[in-house]
Structure 1
Amino acid sequence: MLNVLVPLTELITYILFSILIGHVALQFVSPEKKPSIYISRRFLLSCVLGIILFTFGPLLQVVAYFGGSVGVAQTLFSVLFTFEIGKAWIAIVWCSILLWLAIYLESSKYIQAVLLFLMVLSIGYASHVASLSFWTGFTSHTVHFLAVTLWAGILIQVSWFSKDSTNWDRFLRWFTPFAVSCMIVILISGVIVMLFVIDFKDYVNAWVLPYGQMLLFKHISIIPLLVFAFINGILVRRMRKTPTFDPRLWVKAESICLVIIFFFTGVLGTLSPPHDIDQTVKSEGAVNWVTNLLGSSIKIPVNLEIIGSSQGIVSFIFGVLFLIMIVLSFYKKKTPVLAVFLVISFIISTYLGLMTSVALE
């Protein structure tokens, strides 16, 4: 049950933080440089309360793990006051209460921004990489989380809560370079975070483990997100001349692509990081479907090699075609729902292409 519940809480946490950070960030943008946006105060207050609830998910997992030996109440007390994840949750609760009051009383945007930033710092403080190397891990995870939620938050605001697409060209003039900057920061900080867990030389070997599989899915899903960013940042300017064209629909599709990445990230947060792949395989075992795809059992030491295969090449070709069809569906003015379907098809096709191109040595 927790294997499903905790990743779901992580996913919702990312979405709630994105909504609030996007809302506050756009308060610093002048009205003529953004679409007209309406989001109810009641909904924002619910998002703040939701953060208190859903950030408790990882704590619940820790309590369930240790609770059987010393009791749930004692374990909960110990986790809250002696574990970094518990201390971080207490900080998030206090900041959330203050943020709830700040939004309810319509106080300064600067106060709201500071409180949200403190909550983001708490997320970084509780991260796994911070426990391995505090300052480097804490900084890289915090920057990564902030860049992701800033980009996603603004996208969610302008696509799901805007009244119309007025000022869209002016919005793109600043948001496109901003999004590119966020992506660069996300990639750099993401690599730093990953290297705390997996060395580059072990990246392929990690595919035999659940953590490596989710990391692979996450990295694959970034590619169609870049295609959407290209469409919504550059190609959309040419379509603006069409009176019936609504760019918000395609930004909604991009935000859904981000939610897919959030899902894989949420699952990653609940899995054991494979610092030693051979030891992790020995203690936890390999992923069953990987064993089936490879056609043989996983032996220690794990040594996966990319060898290429006809099935893999065909799958990669289909993956490239799916990306091209995303762009074509935009030019042909098809529904963005089709583009989301093509994104999922690309992820599956590219994943199968990679998994059928490796072999145990």
Structure 2
Amino acid sequence: MDMLVMISQALLYVCFAILAGGFLLLLIPSIYRPDVKISTDYLLISALLVPILAFMPVLDITLFIAPRLGFSEALQTVLLSYTVGNAWNFTLMVSALLVLVIALMRSKEKRISAFIALLLTFGLMLTIAWSSHAGAMDPIKGITGHFIHLAAISIWVGVVLVVGWCATNQDNWLKFLSWFSKVAIGCLVATALSGFLLMGVMVDGYTDSWMVSYGQGLLIKHLFLIPLVFYALLNGFVVKYFLSKDAAFNPIPWIRLEGIVLFVIFALTAFFTQQSPPHGNYLTDDAVSPLFQLFHGGIIDSSSTIGLTINLDIVYFFFLALILVGLVLLSIYKKASIVVTFLISCLLVVNVYIMLMISVVVR
């Protein structure tokens, strides 16, 4: 069931991205973006999936307490008494309104409908933030941080995914980059600030959290931000330069690559948010991450802390990271397949991850 919940949360974030990106692009005049065919069916399916996917954590808790109460009574208890159940009730109602707005959307009133639908999408994100771990631990900071984090990353990912996969041409690409680069930077800053806010709520010590699965997921997610920021800069500046020199240059594969990395981060976020957050006296033998144990298999208990050291092996991995960065740049210069560039980026993340893990000293 845990794996089903993780998959459902990853798909839920994708639905939010499609909705936020799709409605935002409908609000942007066509002269400031390439021609994008945003199918109403995709928006409708995404809106319909939101309450279904958001129901998985509710079902998980229901099945956990069902042996004592019976399924029907357990479901009623969760929906009426638990925060996650109350939040889902609002998710269902707002989703119904969103589906109605999309179904009644007409071409002449599409921008008005898109604005209303975007507000409802943000409302759905707020209900998800309400039911989050962070919201339960600190209602004000947790809900605020989770909502800003989800909204910012959904706008960024959504525009990238919709333009990357639904654009029919590359017309007005420079005009598109002129405003989207600023939006992406704003989303990155908002994501970073809200991320720090959430870590203050959820994590007692960042490096110490690496000993458990939640911290491992958080670390890997942050490492994938390295190629993400790199590709964001690429799409914002390098692509602009290529287009100024060659009008036939096709920028769409590179924004698709940025979208792929963002999707990986979404999936990682869905994974680690379902783990127990490292807060309080959390470290037991069962809680230690199997990934962390691959590098440090000694005795780890609640008094264990993490320090970092530098040795010759770490220097080797550092220079290997520089070589991989060079290979990424070379693949871009040679206009290699986005699959090749993405695989090199993954190798870079793995390399930096191993470098950090072997630099860890458990005290």
Q: TM-score, normalised by structure 1?
A: 0.94
Instruction: Deviation per CA, 1:213-242: give whole Å up to 9, x if none.
Output: 111111111111000001001000121133
Tell me how far 1:136 sits from its aligned partner.
2.0
Closer/same/farther in 2, CA of residues 66 and 323 from structure 1, 3 Å limit:
farther
Cα distance in 2 for partners of 1:123, 1:156 equals 22
2:349 to 347, 350, 353: 347
CA RMSD of aligned residues (A): 1.5
1:175-324 paired onto structure 2 within 5 Å: 175-199=180-204, 202-240=205-243, 241-276=245-280, 279-282=281-284, 284-324=286-326
Instruction: Deviation per CA, 1:149-183: give whole Å up to 9, x if none.
Output: 01111111110111011100000011111111110
Tell me how far 1:37 sits from its aligned partner.
0.5
Cα distance in 2 for partners of 1:289, 1:154 equals 34
Cα distance in 1 for partners of 2:228, 2:132 equals 25
Q: How many residues align?
A: 356
Cα distance in 2 for partners of 1:349, 1:164 equals 37
Cα distance in 2 for partners of 1:88, 1:299 equals 36
Secondary structure (helix, strand or coil) at the match of 2:27 reads coil
Which residue number corresponds to residue 6 of structure 1? 5
The AA in structure 1 aligned to 2:257 is: A
Which residue number corresponds to residue 139 of structure 1? 144
Cα distance in 1 for partners of 2:310, 2:297 equals 15
Farther-moved stretch of structure 1 (166-175 vs 137-146) = 137-146
Instruction: Deviation per CA, 1:130-153: give whole Å up to 9, x if none.
Output: 222222221111111100101111
Secondary structure (helix, strand or coil) at the match of 2:361 reads strand
Do the aligned partners of 1:231 and 1:327 also contact (CA within 8 Å) in 2? no
Instruction: Deviation per CA, 1:250-302: give whole Å up to 9, x if none.
Output: 100100000111111001121111112xx322273312332231242323411
Do the aligned partners of 1:22 and 1:153 also contact (CA within 8 Å) in 2? yes
Cα distance in 2 for partners of 1:274, 1:127 equals 15
Instruction: Deviation per CA, 1:339-360: give whole Å up to 9, x if none.
Output: 1111211111111110011122
Counterpart check, 1:77 vs 2:81: no
Secondary structure (helix, strand or coil) at the match of 2:202 reads coil
Farther-moved stretch of structure 1 (74-83 vs 307-316) = 307-316
Do the aligned partners of 2:9 and 2:53 also contact (CA within 8 Å) in 1? yes
Counterpart check, 1:159 vs 2:164: yes
Cα distance in 2 for partners of 1:295, 1:111 equals 54
Do the aligned partners of 1:155 and 1:255 also contact (CA within 8 Å) in 2? yes
Tell me how far 1:100 sits from its aligned partner.
1.1
Q: TM-score, normalised by structure 2?
A: 0.94
Cα distance in 1 for partners of 2:323, 2:173 equals 30
Do the aligned partners of 1:291 and 1:298 also contact (CA within 8 Å) in 2? no
Secondary structure (helix, strand or coil) at the match of 1:36 reads coil
Do the aligned partners of 2:305 and 2:362 also contact (CA within 8 Å) in 1? yes
Do the aligned partners of 2:282 and 2:302 also contact (CA within 8 Å) in 1? no
Farther-moved stretch of structure 1 (38-47 vs 169-178) = 38-47
Do the aligned partners of 1:35 and 1:166 also contact (CA within 8 Å) in 2? yes
Tell me how far 1:73 sits from its aligned partner.
1.8
Cα distance in 2 for partners of 1:3, 1:126 equals 17
Closer/same/farther in 2, CA of residues 60 and 315 from structure 1, 3 Å limit:
farther
The AA in structure 2 aligned to 1:346 is: L
Tell me how far 1:47 sits from its aligned partner.
1.2
The AA in structure 2 aligned to 1:113 is: L
Closer/same/farther in 2, CA of residues 300 and 127 from structure 1, 3 Å limit:
closer
Unaligned runs of 5+ in 1: none
The AA in structure 2 aligned to 1:328 is: L
After TM superposition, the runs of 4+ consecutive aligned structure 1 residues lying more than 6 A away are: none
The AA in structure 2 aligned to 1:260 is: V
Tell me how far 1:334 sits from its aligned partner.
1.0
Secondary structure (helix, strand or coil) at the match of 1:284 reads coil
Tell me how far 1:244 sits from its aligned partner.
4.4
Unaligned runs of 5+ in 2: 107-112
